[in-house]
């Protein structure tokens, strides 16, 4: 199978970029010919403002690039990840014209919410789900900017009205049940949504000896709950959390006693540190559609202290594979960290349970079977572009539950 993978990379490398690279490597390992088409948000700095605005709605550069790739490479299928803001939804239109089925992984909620994480002023918000996202404009939800919020909302509305989301994507990949429910409520066709979680690959078995301390790994931004974490460690004595990543809140981390900024490292280095840690902290206030770092911790035998919302509450089981706390509750987070520090044997048992969950659900080979099944569904839909999938729910490796059941 020849697969064109499409991804708009972020200014700060994050979980989506890691997933794209891992899936490309997995597909190539299984003998598929994969071409990776990427653009980078750093391009915006050299673009004229008018061109950047128009490009969010419809990129003629993407149209031209995909047509050229079609002639030179002839992909059987396109697997899109992020298309915002430079690649744009023009990708779907040109693929539809060329009769190339598209599989779209929905890593966040951008098709429903201009801010992408169902977050407003640090609190969970679902006001735009199923509606024209005018509230995001008046509240300046995207980057606290009226103009950027307006452009993003216009992109969502334009392609909702032209039917892009419903007719030009063969299958959507969502990461869990919560995400599927949100997108169905937002108007995406249920029969095109398939649940496939992310995966991670680890080089070594967990180290069950000499574990100590806690880690935070991720983008250093407000929605990751860094203000909550900073307040939590201020309430604790003699507890230090190592922080790995980069982003706009690096200064907050560096200036908070109890947080030790360690810099940005690649996955292999982080896995080595996770194998020695007693726990990972994920205090996100934004709705995590998945939480890739949690799975990486599970693979390393490390339990997770996480916010009880979004995809994290579907991954972490309270008292079994980690601890759950209300999002934004610094006192509850401090209590959970204190428990982890004072109950090392209980945390070690949770880490062993987390490793078993990883082996059962989140390995590369398990993921490959699910992904290829979705690809074949998308290819089959090309022969019958209208109407539901010919495959019954019972035939799927992850039988979906329809709303209301």
Q: Give mean pLDDT, residues 345-369.
A: 97
Q: Can you tell me the mean pLDDT for 319-347? A: 97
Residues 310, 257 share a domain: yes
Same domain, 146 and 11: yes
Instruction: Tell me whether residue 403 is in a domain.
Output: no
Residue 60 has pLDDT above 80, yes or no: yes
> For residue range 224-239, what is the model confidence (pLDDT) as tens digits?
999 999 999 999 988 9
Q: Examine the pLDDT at 196 and tell me if it is beyond 90.
A: yes
In this prediction, residues 111-130 reach a mean pLDDT of: 90
Distance between CA atoms of residues 287 and 353, nearest Å: 25
Domain check: are 373 and 301 in the same one?
Answer: no
- % of the chain residues with pLDDT over 70: 94
- Using the predicted structure, report yes or no on whether residue 391 has a pLDDT greater than 60: no
Residues 47 and 112 occupy one common structural domain = yes
Q: What is the pLDDT of residue 266?
A: 83
Evaluate whether residue 19 is within a structural domain. Answer: yes
Asked if 102 and 142 sit in the same domain, the reply is yes
**In the predicted structure, residue 163 carries a pLDDT above the cut 90:** yes
For 26-56, write each residue's pLDDT tens digit.
999 999 999 999 999 888 888 999 999 999 9
Q: CA–CA separation, 314 vs 308, rounded Å? A: 9
pLDDT of amino acid 290: 85
Q: Which of 325, 346, 361 is the last residue of a domain?
A: 361
Q: Is residue 398 part of a domain?
A: no
pLDDT higher than 50, residue 253: yes
Say yes or no to pLDDT of 93 above 80: yes
- Domain membership of residue 303 as a residue range: 214-361
Question: What is the reported pLDDT for 144?
Answer: 93
Helical spans, DSSP H, in 162-195: 164-167, 177-185
Placement of tokens 């899936």 in the chain = 23
CATH code of the domain covering residue 114: 3.40.50.2000
**For residue 375, is it within any domain?**
yes
Mean pLDDT of the chain: 91
Whether residues 185 and 244 share a domain: the answer is no
Return the closest-CA partner of residue 348 out of 358, 359, 336, 340: 340
The DSSP result for 218-272, as a single string, is S--SGGGTHHHHHHHHHTSSS--EEEE--STTHHHHHTSTTEEEEE---HHHHHH
Is 208 inside any structural domain? no
Report the side by side order of strands in the sheet with 259-263: 259-263, 241-244, 214-217, 279-282, 304-307, 322-325
**Domain total of the chain:** 2
Task: Identify whether 401 is part of a domain.
Answer: no
Categorize the per-residue pLDDT at 203 as very low, low, confident or very high, splitting at 50, 70 and 90: confident
Q: Are residues 100 and 181 in the same domain?
A: yes
The encoded tokens of residue 310 equal 């979004």
Residues 17 and 110 in one domain: yes
> Does some domain include residue 328?
yes
* One domain, residues 220 and 327: yes
Selection from 380, 373, 381, 370 nearest residue 166 by Cα: 381
In this structure, the answer to whether residues 122 and 229 fall within a common structural domain is no
Average pLDDT over residues 365-380: 97
* CA-CA-CA-CA torsion sign (283, 284, 289, 295): negative
In this structure, the answer to whether residues 304 and 167 fall within a common structural domain is no
Neighbours of 238 (CB within 10 A): 6
Q: Tell me phi and psi for residue 151, to 5 degrees.
A: -65, -45
Any domain includes 400: no
pLDDT(353) > 50: yes
138 and 221 housed in the same domain = no
pLDDT confidence tier of residue 384, bands split at 50, 70 and 90? low
Tell me the torsion sign for CA atoms 329, 335, 338, 339: negative
8 Å CB contact between 88 and 57: yes
- pLDDT for residue 383: 62
Which of 90-104, 210-224, 304-318, 391-405 is least confident?
391-405
| Mean pLDDT confidence for 237-266 | 94
pLDDT higher than 60, residue 58? yes
């Amino acid at each position: 199978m020849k697969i064109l993978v499409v991804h708009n990379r972020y200014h700060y490398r994050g979980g989506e970029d890691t997933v794209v690279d891992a899936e490309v490597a997995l597909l190539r390992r299984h003998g598929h010919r994969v071409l990776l088409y990427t653009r980078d948000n750093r391009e915006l700095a050299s673009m004229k403002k008018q061109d950047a605005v128009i490009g969010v709605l419809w990129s003629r550069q993407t149209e031209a690039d995909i047509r050229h790739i079609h002639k030179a490479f002839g992909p059987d299928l396109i697997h899109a990840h992020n298309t915002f803001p430079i690649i744009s939804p023009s990708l779907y239109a040109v693929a539809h014209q060329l009769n190339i089925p598209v599989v779209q992984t929905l890593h966040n909620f951008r098709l429903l919410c201009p801010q992408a994480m169902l977050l407003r002023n640090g609190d969970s918000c679902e006001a735009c789900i199923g509606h024209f996202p005018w509230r995001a404009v008046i509240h300046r939800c995207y980057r606290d900017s009226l103009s950027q919020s307006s452009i993003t909302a216009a992109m969502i509305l334009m392609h909702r009205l032209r039917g892009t989301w419903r007719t030009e994507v063969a299958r959507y990949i969502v990461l869990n049940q919560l995400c599927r429910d949100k997108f169905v409520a937002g108007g995406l066709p249920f029969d095109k949504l398939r649940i496939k979680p992310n995966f991670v690959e680890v080089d070594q078995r967990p180290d069950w000896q000499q574990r100590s301390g806690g880690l935070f790994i991720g983008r250093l931004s407000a929605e990751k709950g860094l203000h909550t974490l900073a307040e939590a460690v201020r309430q604790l004595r003699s507890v230090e959390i190592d922080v790995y990543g980069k982003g706009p809140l690096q200064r907050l981390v560096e200036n908070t006693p109890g947080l030790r900024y360690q810099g940005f490292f690649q996955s292999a280095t982080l896995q080595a540190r996770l194998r020695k840690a007693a726990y990972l902290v994920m205090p996100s206030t934004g709705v995590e559609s998945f939480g890739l770092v949690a799975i990486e911790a599970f693979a390393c035998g490390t339990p997770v202290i996480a916010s009880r919302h979004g995809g994290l509450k579907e991954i972490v089981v309270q008292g079994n594979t980690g601890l759950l706390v209300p999002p934004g509750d610094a006192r509850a987070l401090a209590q959970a960290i204190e428990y982890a520090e004072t109950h090392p044997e209980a945390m070690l048992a949770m880490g062993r349970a987390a490793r078993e969950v990883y082996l059962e659900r989140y390995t590369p080979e398990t993921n490959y079977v699910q992904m290829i099944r979705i690809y074949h569904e998308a290819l089959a839909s090309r022969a019958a572009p209208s109407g539901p999938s010919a495959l019954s729910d019972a035939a799927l490796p992850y039988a979906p539950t329809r709303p209301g059941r």
